[in-house]
Structure 1
Amino acid sequence: MDTRRLQFLVELSRLGSMRAVADVLGTTTSTVSQQIAALAAETGATLLERDGRRVRLTPAGRRLAEHAVTILAAVEAARVDLDPDAEPAGVVRVAGFGQAIRRSLLPVTAQLARQHPAVRLVVSEQEPGEALTKLLADDVDLALTYDYDLAPVSTDPTVASEPLWTTLWGLGVRADDVRRVRGTGTLSVLRAFKKHDWIGNPRNRADEDVIRTLASMAGFAPRFTHSADSLDLVEDLIAADGGVGLLPLDRPTRPDVTVLPLPDPEVRLRAYTCTRRGRDAWPPLALVLDLLRRGQPVSQGL
């Protein structure tokens, strides 16, 4: 099997069209078609099928593309091992939640543009569950996810995750309502707002799970009336007397919103990088992961 042809199949699985593959690899659609046809002949499998006026991978094509990623990563790793000065090159697809994209990934994007222009990021904002689904479907190479220490999430055994950073969260309330609080403990803070509407996240239940856990300890059941996955919208809802909800302590807020600390027990968000096991040896992805590790201490917001 000619490993060079595997690259054409991998790019087709990533990009979805022969024209896009040709553009990325600097060749023609005819060459892409010929190389994949030759690969099909080598393997004795049907790799493509018609989908209207386009083509898509067959189940056999998708399986071979998954193997091809690992094969090409191993070949590239061997090449880099023999030629440590070789420059990584390729498109790294990333799905992650907004806070991690802004805080961790955008600085890496700028650094890549300056120092490693042959490596390009394609970024989509996704909540953790959505990002992991895309990772397992091989729609992305890297997922930036999070959970809370009070609501840990287990991942698929085929996924390798590494801590990226942590940050403390508090309870966002109207600034005028701070006077309601009679104590400094987490449960005292929550009890002061037990009759308020609460704001959840429609795309990730972890936020509500944390609030329900703490509210149970405080002796009440929160009434989730609103939902928003944008921190700016959570603030706007709070300011409009739409309720209370979790917000990061280290993020500046509008003047009429205050984030109250939740010191005991703490609410700590934990961010992670997630990849398919064995894929992190692919040089462009390995470079991005290394830049993420070096750009962020493991623990923040302490």
Structure 2
Amino acid sequence: MDLTRLRLLVELERLGTMAAVSETTGMGTSAVSKHFAVLEQEAGAQLLAPDGRRVRLTPAGHRLARHAVDILARVEAARAELAGGGEPVGRVELVTFVSVAAPIVLPAVRRLQDEHPGIEVRLIEHEPDEALELLQSGAADLGLVYDYSLVPRRFPDTLTLRPIGTEPLLLSQPSGAPATSRIMTRRRLLGLAEASWIANSRGSDEDELVRRMCAGAGFAPRIRHRIDNLEIVEEVVAAGMGVGVMPKLAAVTRRGVVHSPLGELGGTRRISLAGSTGGWAWRPIALLARYLWEAARGVLDDTAQTPPVPDGGPAAPPAGPYGGAGPLGEG
């Protein structure tokens, strides 16, 4: 039903006459009458009945007028929310990966819900490849995804990427390896040419990362294990059964394991927010994106200098050298 006609119906119930509605709205009486005729067709019920030289609302007309008051109020509330007025309300489906959940996602969501209790955030845990599918299908509204600087990819054109920061990569080795404070050199990496390397079970960009990194040191890695769970990766390393690349956020102090910074040999893991191009203007998404960026500033390196959506308004243009970079799986 047309909102203009619903407003006319509300005014008729309030003012009582067609002439008064015409005077208040600035429409001619004939135009008002035609609007009511169309509204009756849309409603499939008689809304007005003759009453001498005037008209009165039928019971169906009164009932629709009451519904119209509620409908119009909701429309105005929605417009105010989208325009930045009023308290934001809505549900955001956020898809994220494991290693940013505790240091970034949970603090951001807790703060958002404390300060804006009308926003509900539902968390979905997935690796970036699956996250992209959810975002493109509309099953998720906002996603935290990552890629590697050594293996850049492009996102689908239907999504917009907002970089928020980077983290270094470490080489996870059994204890007895050189001190963790020493940045890995090509010579030291070459010493692992015969090691058993660990990658994820998807055989995706992480394989390519390991191959490019090792190629820079002059050898092809022997990938012997494929494990997705990073805690299990560390257990395998602690057992002396292999070595693997570990993002800094996922690395924990563990008996039997040492972590050596890979520096330029491994590049960085770049973490970004991804969402549909038209979705960033919705205030619940804009606010959640800003809170995630603020939480990341104390955790990630090279964090973006400006929030992904400034002041909860329209999205900023893609920033950084990898605005079109795409997703990888977290092995």
**TM-score, normalised relative to structure 2:** 0.63
2:88 is aligned to 88
1:153 is aligned to 153
1:27 is aligned to none
By how many angstroms is 1:214 displaced? 1.3
Change (3 A) 1:291 1:204: farther
1:119 is aligned to 119
1:240-279 equivalent positions in 2, closer than 5 A: 240-249=239-248, 251-279=251-279
1:35-46 equivalent positions in 2, closer than 5 A: none
- Alpha-carbon distance in 2 for matches of 1:266, 1:154: 20
- Alpha-carbon distance in 1 for matches of 2:146, 2:213: 19
Deviations 1:65-94 (CA, angstroms, capped at 9, x unpaired): xxxxxxxxx98774236662x111111111
* Count of residue correspondences: 230
The answer to whether the 8 A contact 2:168-2:263 is kept is: no
The answer to whether the 8 A contact 2:169-2:246 is kept is: yes
The answer to whether the 8 A contact 1:172-1:259 is kept is: yes
Matched, 1:225 2:224: yes
Change (3 A) 1:76 1:103: farther
- Give aligned-pair identity as a percent: 30
CA RMSD of aligned residues (A): 2.7
Change (3 A) 1:296 1:83: closer
- Aligned-partner residue type, residue 158 of structure 2: T
1:239 is aligned to 238
- Aligned-partner residue type, residue 225 of structure 2: H
By how many angstroms is 1:121 displaced? 1.3
The answer to whether the 8 A contact 2:201-2:226 is kept is: yes
SS at match of 1:101: helix
1:99-110 equivalent positions in 2, closer than 5 A: 99-110=99-110
1:38 is aligned to none
By how many angstroms is 1:161 displaced? 0.8
SS at match of 2:187: helix
1:196 is aligned to 195
- Alpha-carbon distance in 2 for matches of 1:188, 1:110: 46
The answer to whether the 8 A contact 1:164-1:273 is kept is: yes
Q: Which runs of 5+ in 2 are unaligned?
A: 4-41, 43-74, 303-331
- Alpha-carbon distance in 1 for matches of 2:225, 2:204: 13
1:25 is aligned to none
By how many angstroms is 1:146 displaced? 0.2
By how many angstroms is 1:234 displaced? 1.1
1:12 is aligned to none
By how many angstroms is 1:230 displaced? 2.1
SS at match of 1:165: strand
- Alpha-carbon distance in 2 for matches of 1:128, 1:253: 26
Deviations 1:130-160 (CA, angstroms, capped at 9, x unpaired): 1001100111001110001101121011111
The structure with the larger Rg is 2
Query: 233-242 or 106-115: which moved more?
Result: 106-115
By how many angstroms is 1:237 displaced? 0.9
By how many angstroms is 1:301 displaced? 4.6
Change (3 A) 1:77 1:203: farther
